[in-house]
Every structure is written in C-alpha cells, then in structure tokens.
C-alpha cells in the first residue's frame, strides 16, 4: 500500500528555512556566552527566533548579544547574567522573560561544567559543584519554564547531556553521574509532560572543539591526538553540528521525538575500542 503525503507536508518540505517552523518562536538558552550555547543562539537567530540569553559571565553575554546583532540587526534579545544554581534568580529571569515576550516556546538547558579528575582526588566541593550546575541548574530552568509551557500546552525542552552520561570513563565520576542524571531527568519530564503538549529531549555530545576542550588539552588532561584516533570519524565535532541537531529537535519535524537522548559523538560510544 502506498503512503499518502499530505499537501501541507509537501508544502513544508519545499519552504526552505520555514521547514523548521520556528520563525517567531521564543527560545531561552543557558550558557549562551560561548561554545555550543553561542552556536545555538546564532542558529536560532538566523531562523527568526526571539532570544532569551542566560550566562554567568556578563561580559561574554554582552559579546554574544553584540555578535548576534551584527549578523542579524533585527534579532530580538533579552539577556540575564546569572548562575543557573541560583534558584530564585532562575525563577525571576523566567518570569521576566515571559512578561517581556508573552511566552517561552523553547528551552535549551546548555550551561554546564566539566569535571575531569581521579576519583580519589575529587573533593566534596568539586562533586557538589558539578551536580549543582549540571543537574540542579537543568532542573531549576526546566521546572520554571515548564510551568508556563504546560499552561500553554506547547513547548520544547532540550537538555545538554553528554556521551559520558550514556557510557562511562575513568576519572569522571562527578561528570558521568551528573550527565546520566540529566538524561534520566529528560526522560521523566518527557513522559510527565507529554500529554500537556511539551516535548523533552536531550543532546549527548562527544568530544566537540570548544574552549573547554582546548583548556583541558592545554592542561594535559586530554590527549588530542589520541582522542582523534579513538573517534571513528577521525576528528572532533564542531559546535555548529550540535546547533544543527538542536534546530531539528526543536522543530515541528521532530514532533514525534520525545524522551530521546541523541548521542552525537562521531561513533565514539558505539566503538568497542581495543
């Protein structure tokens, strides 16, 4: 039996950037001051999305806003410099953003920190910092934004997990535990809020060329040549590749994808390396 494609679907296929259906939407992005968050902000801006930018670094946040306006002078942006670990500041920023735009359609929970250290040397303070930023920050924003999304019966939340929330690695106890928590939180919210029109998914990047990775390489905590050799595609990922996946997952074309952890690691976690 042949499959019938509706006229509406065929029109959507032919609409270029309108294929995404996100023009005019409002997106809140945490960790927007650099790296993956900055790349996602650019990807959204060129597709007509109104932005709410969050970062603890006020200077980096301003630089992001300036860079976005150079590329797209008409882009609408409001920014809030804050720590994702500050529950009250998170709630206030979300409330203010909704008052400004009237709604939030997309949440990108991107802010996070690495923690690469032998477990026997890992301090309680370092453990708590990783959990506080990587898990609690994701929860605070998901809950604050989810309150509005469930009321409007529409919205997409995209959390930034990691391939190290799916597979394990030595000397990353806090990081692996925190990112595995993000993956499970994603699944819980996905099944809890689906009947209220909210989809929740996660991206789980592998090694991506960012300032964070550059710093770890410079400090001798990562071997770039070994990482490249270990990755089946033979290179590290680029931040624009994460942004492209984010664009798809928040679009109407991913409308039946919910509770999914999308690993994007060049085949790293699939390869049983010896």
pLDDT tens-digit readout, 225-274: 999 999 999 999 999 999 999 999 999 999 999 999 999 999 999 997 65
Calculate mean pLDDT across residues 6-20.
66
189 closest CA partner among 145, 133, 152, 244? 145
Model confidence at 213, pLDDT cuts 50, 70, 90, reads confident
Model confidence at 212, pLDDT cuts 50, 70, 90, reads confident
Name the more confident of 73 and 216. Answer: 73
CATH topology of domain 21-209+238-266: Rossmann fold (3.40.50)
Model confidence at 3, pLDDT cuts 50, 70, 90, reads low
Given the residues 148, 164, 175, 207, the one annotated as active site = 175
The whole-number pLDDT of residue 1 equals 42
Side-chain half-sphere CA neighbours of 225 within 13 A: 1
What does the domain layout of the chain look like in residue ranges? 21-209+238-266
Instruction: Yes or no: say if 246 and 253 are a contact pair by the CB < 8 Å rule.
Output: no
Q: What is the mean pLDDT of the chain?
A: 93
Encode pLDDT of 161-210 as tens digits: 999 999 999 999 999 999 999 999 999 999 999 999 999 999 999 999 98
Name the more confident of 108 and 12. Answer: 108
Give the Cα separation of 186 and 191 in Å (integer): 9
108 closest CA partner among 193, 48, 43, 47? 43
Give the Cα separation of 22 and 106 in Å (integer): 9
Give the Cα separation of 108 and 155 in Å (integer): 11
Q: Give pTM, 2 decimals.
A: 0.93
Residue for token pair 């309150």? 147
Which residue(s) pair with 52 in the sheet? 28, 78
Beta-carbon contacts of 163 under 8 Å, excluding residues fewer than 6 positions away, are 204, 205, 206, 263, 265, 268, 269
Residue 207 is a catalytic residue:
no
Count CB-CB contacts under 10 A for residue 85.
18
The whole-number pLDDT of residue 7 equals 75
Element (H, E) at 78: strand 77-81
* pLDDT at residue 6 greater than cutoff 80: no
| Residue 202 Rama label (left phi>0; alpha psi -120 to 50; beta) | beta
- Residue 67 burial by Cβ neighbours in a 10 Å radius (0-12, 13-18, 19+): middle
* pLDDT at residue 58 greater than cutoff 50: yes
């Amino acid at each position: 039996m042949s499959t019938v494609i509706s006229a509406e679907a065929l029109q959507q296929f032919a609409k270029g950037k309108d294929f995404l259906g996100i023009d005019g939407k409002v997106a809140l992005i945490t960790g927007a001051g650099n790296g993956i968050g900055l790349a996602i902000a650019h990807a959204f801006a060129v597709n007509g999305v109104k932005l709410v930018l969050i970062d603890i670094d006020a200077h980096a946040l301003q630089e992001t806003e300036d860079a976005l306006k150079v590329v797209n002078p008409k882009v609408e942006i409001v920014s809030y410099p804050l720590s994702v670990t500050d529950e009250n500041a998170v709630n206030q920023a979300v409330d203010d953003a909704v008052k400004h735009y009237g709604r939030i359609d997309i949440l990108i929970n991107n802010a996070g920190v690495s923690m690469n250290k032998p477990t026997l040397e890992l301090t309680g303070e370092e453990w708590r910092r990783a959990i506080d930023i990587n898990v609690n920050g994701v929860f605070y924003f998901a809950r604050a934004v989810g309150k509005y999304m469930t009321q409007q019966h529409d919205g997409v939340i995209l959390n930034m997990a990691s391939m190290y929330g799916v597979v394990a690695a030595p000397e990353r106890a806090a990081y692996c535990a925190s990112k595995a928590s993000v993956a499970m939180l994603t699944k819980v919210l996905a099944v809890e809020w689906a009947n209220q029109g909210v989809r929740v998914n996660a991206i789980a990047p592998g090694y991506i060329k960012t300032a964070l990775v550059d710093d770890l390489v410079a400090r001798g905590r990562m071997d770039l040549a070994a990482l490249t050799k270990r990755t089946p595609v033979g290179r590290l990922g680029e931040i624009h590749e994460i942004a492209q996946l984010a664009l798809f997952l928040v679009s109407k074309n991913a409308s039946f994808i919910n509770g999914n952890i999308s690993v994007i690691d060049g085949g790293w976690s699939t390869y049983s390396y010896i």
